[in-house]
Structure 1
Amino acid sequence: MDFLTKVLSNRNVAAAIRRVEDLEEAIRHPNINAIFLLGGDINYLPTLIKRVRAADKVLLTHIDLVEGIGKDRAGIHLIKRMGVQGIVTTKSNLAKFAKEEGLWVVQRLFIVDSESVKTAIRVADNIKPHAVEVLPATIPQYVIQEMRKSLNLPILGGGLLKTEEDVKEALGKGIDAITTSLRHLWNIVL
């Protein structure tokens, strides 16, 4: 699966960064290749992009959470021109625009009940992102199996993971990799 190789470098943990100040630690961390930016504003992006690329790592920007990015085709085009390598979004139209721009696309899906599983599969099947990220990562194994069978995409898991055992359990259920802001979980190599 191209995404797992080219974005995650076949690692099973990606760093989720909520504050710009936390980026440096993720850049220096030897086990982290992909960094998910979950906050900040567009004015910091050019500097962040340069720092991440200089470290030969991949920055995926959660465009729903970064302020100042137009939530439309023009906004996606702008961040592509700025050098963003990929996006994370819950919005299907933004995922579509990003794919058209040649960006890596992670469709974020919130799983709260069996109906949301059906909706998530339908949305992701329609968009065909490079990967999906399910939240929380603690969802039942049958959900992951159903998504894998229906979508044939890498499945990332985020949220509600605190311990190494939590991570092992999520990966054991079939999640390909986890995204986390907890630094002690960045050290896990399985």
Structure 2
Amino acid sequence: MQGQYILRMLSGDKTVIPAVRTKDDFRYALQNTSSPSIILLFGDINLLPELLARSEEYKKLLLIHLDLLEGVGKDRAGIKMLARMGVKGIITTKSHLAKHARAEGMLVIQRMFVMDSEALRTGVHVLQQFKPDAIEVLPASVPAEVISDLVKATNLPVLGGGLLTTEADVRAALKNGLCAVSTSRRELWNNILR
């Protein structure tokens, strides 16, 4: 049940979560999408308060891709500072930062690159040590068997990102078992329904 609640928080009735790379994309996603969340793939500590305020104004959960945010220490103190600023959710490839974020009450998406079977084994091992709220696999075109294995091993919602260029790509990723996908392509943000 927890997984379904997390999924509703992230994507609502949509299957695509906007991932924004610029301020213009951010404004567009706020004003023109119905997704309840936005993934932030740019910015720095100086710009973050403005972005948080705008996302709150539009009642959208801003998920900070921690690995891409400039100007914040990638340690416990940096996570505590982000929590004080009002960050409610993060995405990261770094499990030690994910643990700190969870301790601060943030929603945590563990991002993992699935390039081969060894990367999958390593990822599952990491996820068995620490359970985030959801997993995002890259690329989103991973085979259905990989997604099934991740769900069985973790019992977590599995999202996908990367290498999605068409609606057919999104549909194929969802057919393979992903709960939702993230993409920076505006043309895909609103047209895919569950």
Question: Alpha-carbon deviation of 1:2?
Answer: 2.1
Question: Alpha-carbon deviation of 1:22?
Answer: 1.7
Task: Confirm or deny that 1:84 pairs with 2:90.
Answer: no
Question: What secondary structure sits across from 1:64 in the alignment?
Answer: helix
Task: Confirm or deny that 1:45 pairs with 2:51.
Answer: no
Counterpart Cα distance in 2 of 1:76 and 1:20: 23
- Which ranges of structure 1 fall in alignment gaps of 5 or more residues? none
Q: Which residue of 1 aligns with 2:187?
A: 184
| C-alpha contact 1:61 1:87 (8 A) present in aligned 2 | yes
Q: Which residue of 2 aligns with 1:70?
A: 73
Question: What secondary structure sits across from 1:32 in the alignment?
Answer: coil
Question: What secondary structure sits across from 1:42 in the alignment?
Answer: coil
Counterpart Cα distance in 2 of 1:177 and 1:31: 14
Aligned length in residues: 190
Segment drifting more, 17-26 vs 47-56: 17-26
Counterpart Cα distance in 2 of 1:76 and 1:18: 22
Q: Which residue of 2 aligns with 1:22?
A: 25
Counterpart Cα distance in 1 of 2:172 and 2:109: 22
Q: Which residue of 1 aligns with 2:157?
A: 154
| C-alpha contact 2:10 2:35 (8 A) present in aligned 1 | no
| C-alpha contact 1:108 1:135 (8 A) present in aligned 2 | yes
Return the TM-score normalized by structure 2. Answer: 0.95
Task: Confirm or deny that 1:172 pairs with 2:144.
Answer: no
Q: Deviations over 1:27-69 (max 9, x none)?
A: 0123322111011111110000010011011100011111011
Residue identity opposite 1:35 in structure 2: I
Residue identity opposite 2:72 in structure 1: I
Question: What secondary structure sits across from 2:164 in the alignment?
Answer: coil
| C-alpha contact 2:13 2:193 (8 A) present in aligned 1 | no
Question: Alpha-carbon deviation of 1:10?
Answer: 4.0
| C-alpha contact 1:111 1:117 (8 A) present in aligned 2 | yes
Counterpart Cα distance in 1 of 2:193 and 2:32: 13
